[in-house]
Amino acid sequence: MDTDLRLLDAAVEIIAALGLEGLTHDAVDTTARVPAGTTLETFPTHRALVEGVTQRCIDRELEMASGPGTDIVASPDGIADLFGHFVGRALGEDRSVTLARYVLHAEAARTPSLRAFYAVGADTVDTWAVDLVRRAGSRQPERDFGILANYATGLVFHELALPTPDLDARSRVRSLVDALGWATP
């Protein structure tokens, strides 16, 4: 793994466990098991480190949704599969990314300059997803993607604290797609 990614993934783990208060260059060096000063050399300011980890969370979330090399079918079932897969990973193997993302969301709400940076990265994901929702049959893809994304985000947030035994996120998303009244592509 590339050193930058190793540092950023270590930073994700730190933020997930300790919040932004625990994110220091030294803590990243220790967690990533790299020589002292490596993180400071790569990300010379705390702000650069926060921006780097924010972009890393966005990149990892996109991979959580699509998976490496996975073809997503542009259909209501394909959208349900996509969001169901995302929710499963967000609550499971990528839980630390999810926790870090929520910490970064809260920080973006308090820090306008970080909000602007965060928005640019999120726009890349949104553009990709809105196009997929359009091709899947939505008559109002921007609206419907917003509803789906907010539902999935809220579901994940709720399930982090109060897990539902045998959660079937895919079925829930499929029911929401049906309620939105998409056309058959």
Residue 119 belongs to some domain of the structure = yes
Q: Is residue 157 part of a domain?
A: yes
Residue 170 has pLDDT above 70, yes or no: yes
What is the tally of structural domains in the chain? 1
Q: Is 185 a domain residue?
A: no
Quick one: pLDDT at residue 116?
77
**Alpha carbon 146 to chain centroid, angstroms:** 15
pLDDT band with cut points at 50, 70 and 90 for residue 67:
low
pLDDT above 80 (res 1): no
pLDDT band at residue 112 under the 50/70/90 scheme:
confident
**Within a domain: 136:** yes
Model confidence at 7, in pLDDT bands (50, 70, 90)?
very high
Q: What is the CB-side half-sphere exposure of residue 5 using CA atoms within 13 A?
A: 5
Asked if residue 121 lies in contact with residue 54, where contact means CB atoms within 8 angstroms, the answer is yes
In a domain, residue 96? The reply is yes
Mean pLDDT calculated for residue range 53-62: 88
Q: Evaluate whether residue 151 is within a structural domain.
A: yes
Residue 9 CA to residue 89 CA, distance in Å, equals 16
Q: What is the CATH number of the domain that holds 170?
A: 1.10.357.10
Cβ neighbour number for residue 183 with a 10 Å cutoff: 9
Quote the pTM value: 0.86
Higher-confidence position of 91 and 119 = 91
In angstroms, the CA 165 to CA 19 distance is: 27
Residue-number span of the structural domain to which 119 is assigned: 3-180
Torsion sign (Cα): 72, 75, 81, 84: positive
Residue 145 in any domain: the answer is yes
